[in-house]
A = this chain, B = another copy of it.
């Protein structure tokens, strides 16, 4: 039977590698000979220990993490991290720096504000509708962290390289570009990523945190809201989201064994994004919305000459089994999210469709 699958350009939840989905399906009634589904095995079993430990070990190898870093799995998405960061690090009047590059940065800042914490917004691209990544930022020496959003899903911008914080530990929300390329972790005190864009399903957030940051966490926080609880219990203080951890494990395995690591992944992502941006730049019909030097490898945002044409574009694309091309409801326009799991062939098919659509409607 022909498999009914579309090319999925959703911004998140997003496409997962087919090989990962197939393994989940094939093992779903009998995980590793346990006679149980992965949703039914105890999180205190050897079966699940192997899953979570392998997910962590593969993550460490892929990002070349040394033992200063702990890999944690926390529920609640990046939004929960927006609240946990100030709670864990901004006690006793301490202050943090935030860079505002869009909707998600703004939400992160709002959660520090709600808690009445001290912070400074040291740079923002709000003056230009968040279409670029700010440069030459002065960070405050007394900040205990400097927060950035490494990729802005809605606006289609991404930090090409990371800023010099003058020694302040950087914390990055990498929900939409974690594992898209190798990472120099030396600059980071913590990174976190809701999994549902690049590394798994919704319902799990990967948090990678350095020992000295863990050392700052006060004992007095609620158990589920302090990083130390997760670090000391291998993310199993209570029942973790087992199915989601398993899916993340399989995505890490795919990255290592099928793709061949993050250098290879970065090459592929460059090629995929290149196909789309080169075509957009060659066309007068499609217009990229992000500043050229701030373009995202993951979310390619563009406009057509009119909103009517944009609506027709999204509809016609869906009829051609190209899904998820509508821009975020807050900004309109079109967006192709081409995360790790999007194939080069899929992106080429999209470019072909865009050419045809331009011919017929341009």
CB distance from A295 to the nearest CB of B (A): 23
Interface 1/0 per residue, A132-144 and B, CB below 8 Å: 0000000000000
**Which of A23-31, A60-68, A253-261 contacts the other chain?**
A23-31
**A21 contacts B28, C-beta separation under 8 Å:** yes
CB distance from A231 to the nearest CB of B (A): 16
Pick the contact of A77: B3, B202, B239, B244 (CB < 8 A).
B239
**B240 contacts A202, C-beta separation under 8 Å:** yes
**A223 contacts B36, C-beta separation under 8 Å:** no
Known A114-B220, A222-B114, A238-B79; contact A244-B29, beta-carbon cutoff 8 A:
no
The dominant DSSP class at the A interface is loop
Q: Is A189 an interface residue (CB 8 A)?
A: no
Q: Is A243 an interface residue (CB 8 A)?
A: yes
- In the assembled complex, which residues on chain B have CB atoms less than 8 Å from the CB atom of A323? 34-36
CB distance from A31 to the nearest CB of B (A): 10
Q: Is A201 an interface residue (CB 8 A)?
A: yes
- In the assembled complex, which residues on chain B have CB atoms less than 8 Å from the CB atom of A22? 29
CB distance from A319 to the nearest CB of B (A): 12
Known A8-B40, A220-B114, A222-B115; contact A242-B202, beta-carbon cutoff 8 A:
yes
Nearest first, the 5 A-B pairs at minimum CB distance are: A203-B241, A6-B35, A75-B75, A83-B222, A39-B201
21 A-B residue pairs with Cβ-Cβ distance under 8 Å, sorted by A, are A3-B30, A5-B29, A8-B36, A11-B42, A13-B41, A13-B242, A16-B39, A24-B28, A39-B202, A39-B247, A43-B202, A76-B224, A79-B237, A83-B223, A83-B224, A83-B225, A111-B222, A114-B222, A194-B238, A203-B203, A243-B244
Interface of A toward B, CB cutoff 8 Å: 3-6, 8, 10-16, 18, 21-22, 24-25, 28-30, 33-37, 39-44, 75-80, 82-83, 87, 110-111, 114-115, 194, 196, 201-204, 220-225, 237-244, 247, 321, 323-324, 329
